[in-house]
Amino acid sequence: MKSKITLSLAFVFLYAPLVYLMVFSFNSADSMSSFESFTLEHYGNLFNNTGLLQIVANSIVVGILSAILAVIFGTLGAVAIYQLKNPKKNYQLRQLNNIMILAPDVVIGVAFLSLFTMFGIKLGLISVVLTHAVFCTPIIVIMLLPRLEQIEVSQIKAALDLGAKAKDIVRIILIPNIEDAMIISFFTSIFYSFDDFGVTFFVTGNGFVTLPIEIYSQARRGINLELNALSTIMFLIILFAVIVHQIWISRGGRNA
Amino acid sequence: MTANKRVYNLFITWIIVFSIIPFVLILILSFFDGHGRFTVDNYIKVFDPLYLKLILSSVVNATIITVACSVLIIPLTYLITLQRKSSLWLTLFLIPTWVNLLLKVYAFLGILGSDGIINQIITSFGGQPVDFLFDIKGFIIVTVYIYMPFMMLPLYNTIIKIPKNVIKAAKDLGASETQVFFKVVLPLCKNAIASGVTLVFIPSLSIFMISRLVTGNKVMTLGTAIEQQFLVTGDWNLGSAIAIVLIAIMLIFNFVVQGSSNWQIRRREYEK
């Protein structure tokens, strides 16, 4: 019983800042310190803010394009590691894949800024999409590999006995077995892209803005309750996604 | 097996172009001056007292943050694993990690501000208002809040797998709840602590937006220094040298942390 109280207290402390943020999105006074009266004004402003809607659209486009690239190269990577039988080389390739996961955001950001400048790639949509694809790819590799390793070896042996070639194995056995994981990793990739600030900040250039970049520049100017309204909406979307995910997991458990 | 080879080649090309060349570029940049001449001046500058102090304080702050997260999260995760619906509890604690980091930092601008709720509580008890923002206190509170849930996942996955009869055996032999935690659970999750600590330490060393938003750059991290050299001062060469130092500290940290947890495994095998 004591442990339940401790956990509940921790839970309250963890959520208090988020609740605080959301409560003040309904505040008619322009401050986050005293609550005057209830209003939906900030939500109205948010939906009439065409600049912001454009920025959300930018983020969605970047998320989808980079996720397509990341799923392609993530699948290639997972298949490459899966088929590499030499243990030493296999280990090395896994380590190379980990570089982007271990490297701090700032270092990835400045490294890509240097790369794009050196090769004369203009900062904007393309540089952001490429960068996001690069840091999402290793995550997808790690998501897909365990699924590939679950495939029964006898399936592959049977196909080889029936005369299948290496590329048939990939197309007929490997990919169909991991299709659902590829779809999940596609959405995971979109989320990481949509959420990223630390790397994106260095490669957006002047004209192109994604949502986290916009949140940052707004927050630097101080309290703005439109940001609170935006937080509430984003939190509700996340909550919805978590619930859908939980239901999906419990159903999957029953089928398996 | 030509198709195998083609898949491998495509992937390795992707890795070389986008995961190796960018970092090699940073390494090269760090050894040149603004006119394209080879020099080690950037490293001499990084190790002069001004930057040395910055590096030290950044490491000290990251250590404080990591210790605070460990003290809070390790017992909390253990409590979660004891619950009947432990995976539901875990999900509840992990949901905030999905909320954008900047929005969480922004929330604290309101909470910790000079007339924010914390200071309202302090003054209503007759205390003096505290300057959390533009101060190290604010930086540490916000960073601990943001990074602490990340520590939970590796710990949870390890503790939940500890066989129940191990803990029962300890209790049968007369161990108290606290003794079970310190003498049985903690030693068994050394590796998980190592990865959890890494998940907090590295970002707290390199994060730049928290110190910018919360402290107006009064608290500098290695990340803030790199960001400033690249985007404000425009000295990419010095910025690269600091980035290389950051990577070096990271590698040393990994070596020490992984080394200590591996050592434990090796010793256990030897004792068998």
A117 CB-contact burial (10 Å; exposed 0-12 / middle 13-18 / buried 19+): middle
Q: Which chain A residue has its CA at the smallest distance from B85's CA? A: A4
| A-to-B residue pairs, Cβ atoms closer than 8 angstroms | 209
Give me the residues of B, 18-47, that contact A with CB < 8 A: 18-23, 25-26, 29
Nearest to A132 by CA among A196, A71, A187: A196
ipTM of this predicted complex?
0.89
Asked if pLDDT for residue A89 goes beyond 80, the answer is yes
Contact at 8 Å (CB) between B155 and B192?
Answer: yes
Most trustworthy range by pLDDT among A38-47, A130-139, B213-222: A130-139
Considering CB atoms only, which of A33, A110, A238 is closest to B110? A33
**pLDDT for the residue numbered B77:** 95
**pLDDT for the residue numbered B116:** 86
More confident residue, B162 or A206: B162
Single-letter residue type at A42: H
DSSP state of A122: P
Structure tokens, A190:
């979109």
CB-based contact, A103 to chain B, within 8 Å: yes
Q: Which long-range contacts (CB under 8 A, 24 or more apart) does B206-211 make?
A: B206/A104, B206/A105, B206/A106, B206/A107, B206/B246, B207/A105, B207/A198, B207/B143, B208/A106, B208/A198, B209/A197, B209/A198, B209/A201, B209/A216, B209/B101, B209/B102, B209/B105, B210/B105, B210/B139, B210/B142, B210/B143, B210/B146, B211/B139
Average confidence score pLDDT of chain A: 91
Contact at 8 Å (CB) between A185 and A144?
Answer: yes
The stretch A4-31 carries a mean pLDDT of 92
CA–CA min distance A112, chain B (Å): 6
Q: Strand pairing partners for A27?
A: A38
Asked if pLDDT for residue A195 goes beyond 90, the answer is yes
If you write DSSP's letter for every residue of chain B in order, what string do you get? -HHHHHHHHHHHHHHIIIIIHHHHHHHHHTTB-TTS-B-SHHHHHHTSHHHHHHHHHHHHHHHHHHHHHHHHHHHHHHHHHHSTTHHHHHHHHHGGGGS-HHHHHHHHHHHSSTTSHHHHHHHHTTPPP---TTSHHHHHHHHHHHHGGGGHHHHHHHHTTS-HHHHHHHHHTT--HHHIIIIIIHHHTHHHHHHHHHHHHHHHHH--HHHHHHHTTSS--HHHHHHIIIIII--HHHHHHHHHHHHHHHHHHHHHHHHHHHHHHHHHHHH-
Residues of B in Cβ contact (< 8 Å) with A70: none
Q: Which position has the token pair 């290639």?
A: A76
Give me the residues of A, 143-182, that contact B with CB < 8 A: 165-167, 170
**pLDDT for the residue numbered B115:** 84
pTM: 0.90
More confident residue, A28 or B265: A28
CB-based contact, A227 to chain B, within 8 Å: yes
Considering CB atoms only, which of B19, B103, B111 is closest to A99? B19
Q: A32 vs B240: CB contact, 8 Å cut-off? A: no
What does the alpha-carbon distance between residue B77 and residue B155 come to, in Å, rounded to a whole number? 7
**pLDDT for the residue numbered A16:** 93
Mean pLDDT by 10 residues, chain B (272 residues): 79 94 96 90 92 94 96 94 91 92 93 88 88 90 95 94 90 89 91 92 93 90 94 94 95 85 56 50
Asked if pLDDT for residue A254 goes beyond 50, the answer is no
What does the alpha-carbon distance between residue B42 and residue B35 come to, in Å, rounded to a whole number? 13
Asked if pLDDT for residue A40 goes beyond 70, the answer is yes
Structure tokens, A55:
């920025």
Q: Which of A42-51, A64-73, A132-141 has the lowest mean pLDDT?
A: A42-51
More confident residue, A217 or B115: A217
